[in-house]
Chain A
Amino acid sequence: MKLEHITKAYADKVIFSDFSLELPKAGAVTLMGPSGCGKTTLLRILCGLETPDNGLVETENAAIAVVFQEPRLLPHKNACDNLRIATGCSEQQACELLQDLGFDPTDCKKYPAELSGGMQQRVSIARALLFGGEIYVLDEAFKGVEETLRKQLIERFKKLSQNALVVQVTHQRDEAELLGGEIITLAADPCRVAQREICG
């Protein structure tokens, strides 16, 4: 995955100016940096949700599973159906994974409004896991998820990073270290790579 000479501005604020970044086909990459430095915009460009004003984005048409900062669940569908509709999995697969992530069988049939914020986020993570793909994009994905489960989930993504690219944005150093791979620290105005380090 490659970003070459990206330029992106919102009104008068320049987020990226001639920004380039190359990421491996498989592995784990954590993007860190101060708020507003462009981490989320970078992820959105990678996912194709934002188009750069100039420059080239090369994702080789890889299937991308995204965990957004917000759960973004269909409000009129229960947890299980949210997974089925987005990923095409069976009801059994959906329920099994949700139970793996700490859901009671009854919780699987609950609607988003009936679930806590943390549970909704777990459904959103389950959606990405079931969707699969060559790239996993996690934008502060573990916010509101309970500590033990958070570690388990990061471990799960770490395993996936053996065959896929896992890119996460986080403010938590421990989440970056748990995922391992590379930590890229970004600086703001405009966004640039301040530091690259290999951890684990």
Chain B
Amino acid sequence: MTHSITQSKTTAKSIIKFLLAALFWVGVWELVYLLVGHDTIVASPWQTLLRVIELGSQGNFWLICLKSIASIVVGYLCGIAAGGLFAVLSNYCTGAQTLLSPLLHVVRATPVASFILLAYFWMQTKNIPAFIAFLIVLPIIWGNTHEGLRSCDPQLLEMGRVYGFSRLKTLWQIRLPAAVPYFLSGCRTALGLAWKSGVAAQALVRPDNTIGNELQNAKIALETVDIFAWTAVVIVLSVLLERTVMLIFDRVRKPRKGASS
């Protein structure tokens, strides 16, 4: 009981601290707006908030948000699946590791903009954000999961050998559980990057009814307030998406009590 009261006090304190810090930066933003004194260059926090509310009251707004989220989440999930699969393959088969390793390095080193522009020639514009999210997520999940699979407890591997675990059983019972924290950490990192690069792809290739397209429209029309408002929407959606994914991961991890042998 005492413990839970102390914990909720700590949580309340950290929320207050966060809100105060956020308020400080909104103040800085307002100050910059007043100093610049030009709506085309900087929109004020108040103007941005009003515009977000206005956008929210339009039916199209929710369709744009949903469509943007859906395409990026599809790419994100495909990236997770492929990254996990490649990690397992490269962990178990030296040939696969040798074959896939250069691909991993190329994907990691290539600028997102190059992929976006290339994808423009390869596929329909509506599929590009998902493809870009996929390419961003793939090497992160692959690298992290591979590292997790490699770093599993050698003593447990010996136990598995002695007790005649098959390769599949070793993978399922020893290697994969050890890789879970690495995998989840990769998923978390990849989510933010997938979201940002997905929106960037939308802004460049402009598929209909997407946030990136709206940002580009606002830029062309010199509607700075709209750019700020859509950026605010991107940030809020990013936080919500991250929270939702973390909640799902926490549920997944919950039965895995005990972290060490």
A-to-B contact residues, CB < 8 Å: 47-49, 63-66, 68, 70-77, 85-87, 111-114, 120, 127, 131
B19-27, B125-133, B253-261 - interface stretch: B253-261
* Cα of A63 to Cα of B164 in the assembled complex, Å: 9
Given the known inter-chain contacts A112-B258, A112-B261, A114-B258, please indicate yes or no for A68 contacting B163, CB distance below 8 A. no
What's the minimum C-beta distance from B87 to chain A, rounded to whole angstroms?
Answer: 19
B162–A64 CB distance below 8 A: yes
The 6 closest A-B pairs by CB, nearest first: A113-B258, A111-B258, A72-B159, A111-B257, A86-B163, A76-B256
| Residue in A66, A68, A75, A113 whose Cβ sees the most chain B Cβ within 10 Å | A75
Chain B's nearest CB lies how many Å from the CB of A4? 23
Given contacts A74-B173, A74-B174, A74-B177, contact A86 B159 (CB under 8 A): yes
* In the complex, residue of chain A having the shortest beta-carbon distance to the beta carbon of B161: A49
Give chain B interface residues in 230-261, CB to chain A under 8 Å: 255-261
Contacts of A63 in B (CB 8 A): 164
B155 and A75 contact, CB distance less than 8 A: no
Give A112 to B156 CA distance when docked, in angstroms. Answer: 13
- Considering the complex, which residues of chain B in the window 181-220 have a beta carbon less than 8 Å from any beta carbon of chain A? none
User: Within 8 Å of chain A (Cβ to Cβ): is B39?
Assistant: no
**B158 at interface by CB-CB < 8 Å:** yes
Q: Are B162's CB and A75's CB within 8 A? A: no
- Do A72 and B173 touch across chains, with their CB atoms under 8 A apart? no
Across-interface contacts of B159 in A (CB, < 8 A): 66, 68, 72, 86
The answer to whether A73 touches B173, judged by C-beta atoms less than 8 angstroms apart, is no
- The 25 sampled A-B contact pairs (Cβ below 8 Å) are A48-B161, A49-B162, A65-B162, A65-B163, A66-B159, A68-B155, A70-B155, A70-B261, A72-B156, A72-B159, A74-B156, A74-B174, A74-B261, A76-B257, A76-B258, A77-B173, A85-B169, A85-B173, A86-B163, A86-B165, A112-B261, A113-B258, A114-B257, A127-B163, A131-B163
Query: In the bound complex, what is the Cα–Cα distance between A64 and B177 (angstroms)?
Result: 26
With a CB–CB cut-off of 8 A, which chain B residues contact A131?
Answer: 163
Q: For residue B158, which residues in chain A have a CB less than 8 angstroms away from its CB?
A: 49, 68, 72
Q: What residues of chain A lie closer than 8 Å to B163, measured between beta carbons?
A: 65-66, 86-87, 127, 131
Task: Kindly list chain A residues whose C-beta atoms are within 8 Å of the C-beta of B257.
Answer: 76, 111, 113-114
Cβ–Cβ contact B177 & A47, under 8 A = no
- Report B-chain residues with C-beta under 8 Å of the C-beta of A48: 161-162
CA distance A129 to B237 in the complex (A): 55
A75:B161 contact, CB within 8 angstroms:
no
Closest Cβ of chain B to A80, distance in Å, is 14
Given contact pairs A65-B162, A76-B258, enumerate 19 new A-B contacts (beta carbons under 8 Å). A47-B162, A49-B161, A64-B162, A65-B163, A66-B159, A68-B159, A70-B261, A72-B156, A72-B158, A74-B177, A74-B261, A75-B259, A75-B260, A76-B177, A87-B163, A111-B258, A112-B260, A113-B258, A114-B258
